[in-house]
A and B are shown apart, each in its own frame.
Chain A
Amino acid sequence: MQNFSQLKQEFLKKWLKGLKICSSPSKKMGILERKNAIKLSADLAMAFARKGRTYWSRAVIAKASRNSNNDMTLIKNASKQRFFQSKKIMKRSQNVHRVLLRNKSLSRKVLPNSMAKRLVKKRTQVLKRLVPGGDQCLDEVSLMRETLDYIISLRAQIDVMRCLAGAK
């Protein structure tokens, strides 16, 4: 737990610095911009607090640096992008659904073991997509490690943010 609080402090320091940097160029910001800036700085601070040791932190930093080239417009478009993504995923999922149905019609008897394996595979894919930098994890062991680390750091982040937000 000592480690956890240390992580929190580290995160807070880095986050506040990042906020200072973010806030300086543009004085006028809409609430969405502000929110995005805060989130971006928080994520970056979290990634830097982990010192780039893990895949996900490196992925976050890389993504942020890619985005920062195109300035804030990309960040503004983030919500649109996500919507687009989810549409794509929906379409793909329908496709997969159809394929699954066809498979089922072909072979009625699906072994329960293989079914469980498929379920696990699907879930690991989803998890890879959720955890930043999960695509670089080639095996499940590293994916699990990344997920553990990511969850812990997210918790620290949330704790600190809640402290700041729920303080009034």
Chain B
Amino acid sequence: MESSGVTLAGSTPVGAQPGEPGLDSLQFGEEIQRLMAVPPENASSFTALLELPAPQAMELLHHAPDPDRVPAMANLSGEPLHKPYPHQTFGSSLTFLSDPALIERAAKYSVFAGEHSPETSSVPSNSSANLEKVKSEPAETDSNPNSSQPLVSDPSVEEKNQRPSAKRKEREKKVRKLKQRGIDRLGFLGFPFLAKFDKSRFQKSEIDHHFCKIQAKASSKKSKNESSQDAQKLPYVHVRARRGQATDSHSLAERARREKINARMKLLQELVPGCNKDKMPLNKIDEDPSFFPSGTTNDGSSVLKSQECNSVLLCDLDPSRSISGTALVLDEIINHVQSLQRQVEFLSMRLAAVNPRIDFNLDSILAIDNGSVMDGNLPNMVSSVMWPEFPINGNRQQFQQQWHFDSLHQPLWGREEDNQTFVTPENSLLTYDSSANSASLHSSQLKMEL
């Protein structure tokens, strides 16, 4: 948790765009305030900076690529334009980068401030507008402490956050190299404050450590709230451990799998009627073993039993409640699949009964069927297909008369239905009987006639 907090907090000044100097300087002000909280033994090189009046110090720290000031500093230090580049070239990079750059600059400036104080005092004349801006800032930070991290929810910042850590490491290396080079140059030129600067550089890691800690403390509350959003938005880290969750690869994979299953389950829940999760969930049922008698859920053959049990349960508890809980959802799915399969069976039986021959008038159907499956004209078409012989033979009256013979075939149909164990409402059974019997009689009569 702490690490993510650090990245969040550290990336905020980086994410500030160059077009928004106000936000940028605001961030720097915040950082200075934090740096003040660093124990003084670590910040020996900052003491000079801290002695300055706050707006001036911030002005010094505030990194506006000022065309007048940079050459002056370059002339002073004798090195050609080295200093502003790290921040410009890696301006969009990650946390570690900006902070060392800041600290390094601060160290340098502090040294300068100690040695050439008139120079620094002459700087604001070039950028008086900047100074005014900076002056206006501290009031803002005091009055509105929540705005210290205004860009955290900004998607661009988060995208920058999502860069692979390998890149980050590379950049760190680069920065270190650059710094090393700068120090070497300084030493080559024999500047008197080299020892100080080097010392400050060695202290820098410690300072960084403190810095990160403080920032993490400050941002942990906010990042807690935002961690859940981050977990959804991050594209390359699919699973993220929340507080108290395990972070090893096995549990992460397991969590990913569970999430997948849950998503599918939700889809199925929406698809299958009867388990609507929006209403009151019944989570307790599948947790409490006493709800299920032990024999009900053992095997496939007892699904019907468990179904009965479920229905009884649901009726007992509350009819308005609907089902949640994995086991019950699975039950519903099983029942649904079974009912669908039975329906297919039943419909095929019915079709077999209705039609004297298997192939209906195929050509006519195939000719018409494009786009007509969903429409209302299908029934008419199919009826013409189903009973093509009627108008030709003219034996509709015969067909009417054959209804009387239904009673003869009744036992046979009853037996068949027992075998098939159709579960259908009674009226549909009745229609099924009548239509099927008439059809079979009709076919037999046709055969007789032929």
Same complex for A and B? Answer: yes
Question: Interface of A with B (CB < 8 Å)?
Answer: 5, 8-9, 12-13, 16-17, 19-20, 22-24, 29, 31-32, 34-39, 42-43, 79, 86, 89-90, 92-93, 96-97, 100-101, 104, 110, 112-113, 115-116, 119-120, 122-127, 129-131, 139-141, 144-145, 147-148, 150-152, 154-155, 157-158, 160-168
A120–B301 CA distance with the chains assembled, in angstroms: 16
The answer to whether A37 touches B358, judged by C-beta atoms less than 8 angstroms apart, is: yes
> Who on chain B is nearest to A8 by CB?
B373
CB-CB < 8 A to A32: which residues of B? 352, 416
CB-CB < 8 A to B371: which residues of A? 9
> Who on chain A is nearest to B272 by CB?
A151
Take A92-B299, A163-B382 as given contacts and tell me if A141 and B366 are in contact as well, using a CB distance cutoff of 8 Å. Answer: no
CB-CB < 8 A to A19: which residues of B? 358-360, 362
The answer to whether A130 touches B337, judged by C-beta atoms less than 8 angstroms apart, is: yes
The answer to whether A9 touches B382, judged by C-beta atoms less than 8 angstroms apart, is: no
The answer to whether A16 touches B360, judged by C-beta atoms less than 8 angstroms apart, is: yes
> Who on chain A is nearest to B443 by CB?
A31
The answer to whether B330 touches A16, judged by C-beta atoms less than 8 angstroms apart, is: no
- Whether, in the assembled complex, B326 has its beta carbon less than 8 Å from a beta carbon of chain A, the answer is yes
Interface residues on B, range: 35 or more
The answer to whether B351 touches A148, judged by C-beta atoms less than 8 angstroms apart, is: no
CB-CB < 8 A to A22: which residues of B? 358-359
Take A5-B374, A116-B327, A127-B334 as given contacts and tell me if A122 and B386 are in contact as well, using a CB distance cutoff of 8 Å. Answer: no
Q: Which of B37-45, B92-100, B283-291, B316-324 contacts A (4 or more CB under 8 A)?
A: B283-291
> Who on chain B is nearest to A7 by CB?
B373
CB-CB < 8 A to A20: which residues of B? 359, 362
CB-CB < 8 A to A110: which residues of B? 289
The answer to whether A155 touches B340, judged by C-beta atoms less than 8 angstroms apart, is: yes
| Nearest CB in chain B: distance from A49 CB, A | 12
Contact of A120 (CB < 8 Å), options: B327, B416, B440 = B327
Kindly list the 9 A-B residue pairs having the minimum CB-CB distance in the complex, ordered from nearest. Answer: A93-B299, A144-B264, A167-B382, A23-B358, A35-B352, A123-B330, A34-B352, A39-B348, A161-B347
